[in-house]
Amino acid sequence: MPRNAEVIRQWTILREIERSPGAGVTIDELATLCAVTTRTIRRDLQALEESGFPLYDDKSHDDGRTRWRVNGQAFKGLSTGLTVAELCALYFSRTLLESLSGTPFRDEVESAFEKLSSVLTPHMRQFLDQLPRVIATKADPMRRGHPHQQQFIARALEATLQLRQVQLTYHSKSSERTKTYLVHPYRLAYAQGGLYLLAYVPEYQEVRTFAVERIQDVSLLEERFTPIEDLPDAAFPHSLGVHSGPPEHVEVEFEPAVADYVRARQWHPSQQLRDAASGGLTLSLDVCRDRALQSWILSFGPFARVIAPDTLAREIAEQFTEARARYA
């Protein structure tokens, strides 16, 4: 913990110095900001300098106070227009982008980070490599797909960009059968550890969602298509998961034991909270009725109760009854 606190403090110092390019920052100001002694700040500044960060002490002010600045001329990475802190933040964020490991952009992201790391000095990278000990990520469970999945994704992307019709061979889990569709690919969406193709199906005259891991073949056709439906900017905007159905008004009552947890998160942009005198709360959402919604409600066990609509309340109650029977 002490080492983690030191790394975070030094990162804070670096950012603060860069945020004050004109006036610079004094050691006293940094000590107040970090709630430590000036001696500690001097050690931190020395550590940052030894790591290769282009800091220098400016003693040219009339008041005689030394101010710390960043020497932009001494750091070639600043030619990109990014600050030292921005470059370091990008380098560090590779940890946060691990969730892209299942997408077609994985190789490009890794290549970009290799180029970015070449701009930083070895000592800078050594310092920044300590940051993942302070903050870490856990990617969503990755979907297992067809051996040729990357090839299928590349074809789907090409068809989407060029507005080309596609013959899609797909295995549906709901019907447990494989079928070939003629589709107009609109978009690839990444959500919950998997890629999904949103495509208009002329046979059904609607946009449908195809999980990429269940695609068995993609054949690009020469025929083009004109999109006849505009997709919203966000992927699956009315779902807590990856469904594209119409939204319904849903109200769920939560017990005091989980109220703080529910209140502290935004589950959906449409949510509205209403506190109860008992310490619990009621959460209302305008979302589609799908498996993701049911799973979310069931995850709270006896601490959540659906108030509306009645049909959803009965569905949840039936699932609890069936679960109880399995454990009897």
Q: Domain coordinates of the chain in residue numbers?
A: 2-133, 149-224, 248-327
**Threshold 0.75, pTM exceeds:** no
- Listed in sequence order, the residues at least 6 apart from 210 whose beta carbon sits closer than 8 Å to its beta carbon are 168, 170, 183, 196, 197, 198, 199
Q: Which token pair is 293?
A: 């919604």
Q: What is the pLDDT of residue 175?
A: 80
Q: Looking at the domain covering 2-133, what would its CATH class be?
A: mainly alpha
> Given this model, what pLDDT does residue 2 score?
47
C-alpha–C-alpha distance, residues 304 and 162, integer Å: 47
Domain 248-327: which CATH number of 1.10.287, 2.40.50, 3.30.1490, 3.30.70? 3.30.70
SS (H, E, C) the chain: CHHHHHHHHHHHHHHHHHCCCCCCECHHHHHHHHCCCHHHHHHHHHHHHHCCCCEEEECCCCCCCCEEEECHHHCHHHHHCCCHHHHHHHHHCCCHHHHHHHCCCHHHHHHHHHHHHHHCCHHHHHHHCCHHHCCCCCCCCCCCCCCCHHHHHHHHHHHHHHCEEEEEEEEECCCCEEEEEEEEEEEEEEECCEEEEEEEECCCCEEEEEEHHHEEEEEEEEEECCCCCCCCCCCCCCCCCCCCCCCEEEEEEECHHHHHHHHCCCCCCCCEEEECCCCCEEEEEEECCCHHHHHHHHCCHHHEEEEECHHHHHHHHHHHHHHHHHHC
Place of tokens 């110092």: 13
Q: What is the pLDDT of residues 204-240, one digit of tens each?
A: 999 899 998 899 999 999 999 998 878 887 888 999 9
| Total length of the chain | 328
Domain at 149-224: CATH code: 2.30.30
Residue 116 neighbours by CB under 8 Å, 6+ apart: 87, 90, 91
CA 280 to chain centroid: 29
Residues in the chain with pLDDT < 50? 1-2
The pLDDT of residue 92:
66
| CB burial of residue 16 (10 Å; 0-12, 13-18, 19+) | middle
Whole-angstrom Cα distance, residue 271 to residue 114? Answer: 41
Q: What pLDDT does 105 receive?
A: 63
- Residue 194, classified by CB atoms within 10 Å of its CB into exposed (0-12), middle (13-18) or buried (19+), is buried
Which of 243, 220, 230 lies closest to 296 in space, CA to CA? 243
Pair 39, 81: CB distance under 8 Å: no
Reference 259, options 304, 312, 309, 307; nearest CA is: 304
- Please give the angle made by the CA atoms of 212, 213 and 219, to the nearest 5 degrees: 55
What is the pLDDT, as a whole number, of residue 139? 64
Q: What percent of the chain has pLDDT over 90?
A: 45
Distance between CA atoms of residues 34 and 32, nearest Å: 6
Whole-number pLDDT of residue 81: 63
| Nearest-angstrom CA–CA distance, 86 and 105 | 22
Look up residue 280 and give its two tokens: 């619990």
